Amino acid sequence: MLREGSLVSNDFAARPGAVGDPPQHYGNPLSEQKALASGEAIVDLSDRAVITVTGPDRLTWLDSLTSQAVAKLAPGESAETLLLDPSGRVEHAMRLVDDGETAWLLVDANQGAKLTAWLDRMRFMLRVEVADRTADFATVGTLGTQELPAVATWRDPWADGPGHTYAATRPDAPWSYSEVLVERGADLSAFPAAGSLALEALRIAAWRPRLATEGDEKTIPHELDWLRSAVHLAKGCYRGQETVAKVHNLGHPPRRIVMLHLDGSDGVHAAAGSPVLLGDAEVGRVTSAALHYELGPIALAVVKRSVDPAAELVVRVDETLIAAAQDVIVPTDAGASANVPRLPRLGAVRR
């Protein structure tokens, strides 16, 4: 039952040991990580927003507005797509699944109302209807295959992304993540629960970006390796496409995402916003941090592209400096079509 004054449903916050609403943990975040990673537990994400787009033009319309090719999305097929501003910066990130009649857009809580209003203004004469359905449906996260009472299921394309990845390697952590839509008030008491801290730790280990954490007002998709799952490089025009093409084919992103392995010997933990230093110079910021049940203290950070991947970095937390080793996700030479040599100009003399 939906509690008065709250968007949290399904009584996750009423379970024994729950801390937070939606719960961050139930008393043992590391054990919850193991249960979530093994596919046994589910996570309450009911503070996130749900938008529906209906009508026969819904997929071609979304295709024309956003970065991914979704015009021919089959019923039940999942995609991720971005809404960019005219300069190619990321404004909204959408997890999209279509059931043949309705396109379900799953977005972070702070994006729901603003994205719904923007999409509604862009309908013009097309046969589409946009609605915010957050009050009716809740999102549940899982890395398993539980038989939840699903209205729709979005399966994350990140691990085997259909697009272009800059990463030369893949993370060791598996990532078979899905988000399941259920009606608010559905009985999920039979399913073990893990808190949002467990999900964050596994997400960080999988190098999986979120706009709410890794993004800021300057983020372009290349910086977070988001061409992997959310950008189609050969589709038709959409807002911000020129920047996407220029950076990928001719330039380099100004920043790059890294995963940091942090020294935990001082018992001090980094947090989002903690400065990343090279010597005395600040070269980036931590965007997400967690204590992983196998890897120990880890974080995602966005740093200047030019930072040497082999450099010894430190993260500053108040007066404590924490040693940090990089896992390279986006390399320093990302973009410029993998540095394909340019052809000489017609008539140019070779020397």
pLDDT score at 19? 97
Residue 308: CA atoms inside 13 Å, Cβ hemisphere, count?
Answer: 6
| CB-CB neighbours of 92 under 10 Å | 21
> Per-residue pLDDT for the chain (351 aa), expressed as one digit of tens each?
344 433 444 689 999 999 999 999 999 999 999 999 999 999 999 999 999 999 999 999 999 999 999 999 999 999 999 999 999 999 999 999 999 999 999 999 889 999 999 999 999 889 999 999 999 999 999 999 999 999 999 999 999 888 999 998 888 888 999 999 999 989 999 999 999 999 999 999 999 999 999 999 999 999 999 999 999 999 888 999 999 999 999 999 999 999 999 999 888 999 999 999 999 999 999 999 999 999 999 999 999 999 999 998 999 999 999 999 999 999 999 998 654 444 444 444 434
Distance between CA 167 and CA 216 in Å, rounded?
21
- Domains in the chain, CATH or no CATH each: 19-214 (3.30.1360.120), 252-335 (2.40.30.110)
- Over its C-alpha atoms, the chain yields an Rg (Å, rounded) of 21
**285, β-bridge pairs:** 275, 302
Structure tokens at 312: 């010894």
User: Tell me, what's the pLDDT at 7?
Assistant: 42
Two tokens at 275? Answer: 């400065």
3-state secondary structure of 219: coil
CB count in 10 Å sphere of residue 245: 13
Q: What is the pLDDT of residues 207-245, one digit of tens each?
A: 999 999 999 999 999 999 999 999 999 988 899 999 999
Are residues 110 and 18 in contact, defined by beta-carbon separation less than 8 angstroms? no
State the pLDDT at residue 216: 97
Token match 């996700």: residue? 329
Predicted pLDDT of residue 336: 83
Residue 333's φ and ψ, nearest 5 degrees, are -100, 20
Cis bond upstream, residue 22 (ω within 30): yes
